[in-house]
């Protein structure tokens, strides 16, 4: 006599894996702002912001060809363009420009809004309906991140913050649509196709940047560029989109609340930027809110349910 699988056990297992992959993606992304700041200190902003995607595309295309991935349909291509606009072009370019104006740790003030923006976009696009407890925990976590970074920062509001705000808004759209596409074609396939279809829009501005500004930079600047190209723009999304597809965009997206604290830690170690002891308290509050979010019920439309195991 066969025993039917327990849906609650399966759901717990799927969401647990989602949180694991989501945290792995956040860990990789947490180095992005300090590494970008290292790169833009000596390399042109356009080259860093868009050139990273061009390098990642050179890795993505052979992987798609070697694994014989089917070409996305016309409708899927349209959705992949949205992903590309958000995470391949918009966020990298705007954040690179912002980091010429303000420190990496200061940029975490605005970047702390990204999890909340992702949740709001997911509610609008994906039909998620979180319980009030979810929103309360998400708001407390968001306010904790922004308040902590704001009151411990030595820099007031700057023009770069507007660019970071634009990066957050367009990046949240790319996260949500990328998470949705990952349920259909797979996580790494989503970012790889988004990178490949972006190439025609990247070659001209990147080439123009190289001609005008050259590529003279120290090994430190190139280290920053290599990291944001290979890890932030490529490998990090393998884990991040898989986490969103498995655990749910709205819920797993809140794991990114931890990114600000990780970013400030790396900024202090790599760039000598100030780290305060209050970070431990603030991070503890955020972790508590993520645990509450992990248990908060979220109603989803039937067509929004992720498959039990999205394509790898």
Q: What mean pLDDT comes out for the span 77-96?
A: 89
Mutual angle of helices 259-271 and 7-29, in 10-degree steps: 30
- Residue pair 310/182 in contact (Cβ under 8 Å)? The answer is yes
Please report where in the chains the tokens 């990328």 appear, as a residue.
178
How far from the centroid of its chain's Cα atoms is residue 204's Cα? 25
User: Taking 90 as the threshold, does the pLDDT of residue 238 lie above it?
Assistant: yes
Residues 6+ apart with CB under 8 A from 103: 37, 153, 155, 267, 271, 273
In terms of Cα–Cα distance, which of 30, 48, 31 is closest to 39? 48
Q: Is 70 exceeded by the pLDDT of residue 198?
A: yes
Query: Within 10 Å of residue 40's Cβ, how many Cβ atoms?
Result: 25
Say what the pLDDT of residue 303 is: 41
| pLDDT computed for residue 98 by the predictor | 77
Whether 244 shows a pLDDT value over 90: the answer reads: no
**pLDDT tens digits, 18-54:** 889 999 999 998 888 788 888 988 999 889 989 999 9
Average pLDDT, the chain: 80
Q: What percent of the chain has pLDDT over 90?
A: 35
> pLDDT band at 213, cuts 50/70/90?
very high
Instruction: Give, for 298, the enclosing helix (H) or strand (E).
Output: strand 298-299
Does residue 247 contact residue 18 with C-beta atoms inside 8 Å? yes
- The pLDDT, as a whole number, for residue 247 is 83
Higher pLDDT, 231 or 274: 231
Distance CA 168, CA 281 (A): 25
Q: What is the model's pLDDT at position 112?
A: 67
Q: Is the pLDDT of residue 305 over 80?
A: no
Task: Tell me the backbone φ, ψ of residue 199, rounded to 5 degrees.
Answer: -50, -45
Q: Is the pLDDT of residue 307 over 50?
A: no
The token duo for 73 is 């349909």
192: left (phi over 0), alpha (psi -120 to 50) or beta: alpha
SS3 assignment, position 130: strand
pLDDT in tens, 143-163: 876 676 566 555 555 566 677
pLDDT digits (tens, 9 = 90+) for 167-180: 888 988 998 899 89
Token representation of residue 97 = 């420009």
Q: What are the sequence ranges of the domains in the chain? A: 16-304
- Strand ranges in 126-196 using DSSP code E only, listed in sequence order: 129-130
**What's the CA gap between 74 and 263, in Å, rounded?**
38
Condensed to tens digits (0 to 9), the pLDDT of residues 97-153 reads: 777 776 655 566 666 677 777 778 887 777 767 778 877 877 887 787 667 656 655
């Amino acid at each position: 006599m066969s025993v039917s699988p327990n849906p609650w056990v399966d759901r717990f297992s799927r969401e647990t894996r989602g949180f694991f992959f989501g945290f792995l993606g956040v860990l990789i992304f947490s180095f992005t702002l300090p590494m970008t700041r290292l790169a833009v200190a000596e390399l042109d902003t356009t080259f860093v912001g868009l050139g990273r995607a061009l390098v990642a595309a050179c890795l993505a295309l052979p992987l798609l060809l070697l694994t014989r991935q089917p070409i996305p349909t016309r409708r899927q291509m349209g959705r992949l363009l949205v992903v590309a606009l958000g995470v391949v072009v918009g966020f990298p370019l705007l954040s690179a420009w912002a980091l010429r104006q303000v420190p990496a740790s200061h940029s975490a003030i605005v970047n702390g809004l990204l999890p909340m923006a992702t949740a709001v976009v997911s509610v609008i696009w994906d039909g998620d309906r979180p319980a009030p407890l979810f929103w309360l925990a998400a708001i407390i976590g968001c306010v904790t991140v922004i308040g902590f970074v704001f009151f411990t920062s030595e820099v007031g509001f700057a023009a770069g913050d507007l660019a970071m705000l634009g990066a957050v808004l367009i990046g949240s759209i790319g996260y949500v649509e990328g998470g949705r596409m990952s349920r259909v074609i797979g996580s790494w396939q989503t970012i790889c196709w988004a990178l490949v279809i972006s190439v025609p829009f990247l070659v001209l501005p990147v080439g123009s940047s190289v001609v005008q500004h050259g590529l003279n930079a120290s090994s430190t600047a190139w280290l920053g560029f290599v990291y944001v190209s290979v890890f932030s723009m490529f490998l990090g999304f393998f884990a991040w989109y898989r986490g969103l597809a498995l655990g749910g965009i709205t819920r797993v997206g809140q794991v990114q609340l931890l990114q600000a604290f990780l970013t400030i830690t790396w900024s202090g170690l790599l760039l000598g930027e100030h780290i305060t002891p209050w970070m431990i308290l603030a991070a503890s509050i955020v972790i508590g809110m993520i645990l509450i979010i992990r248990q908060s019920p979220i109603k989803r439309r039937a067509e929004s349910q992720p498959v039990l195991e999205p394509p790898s």
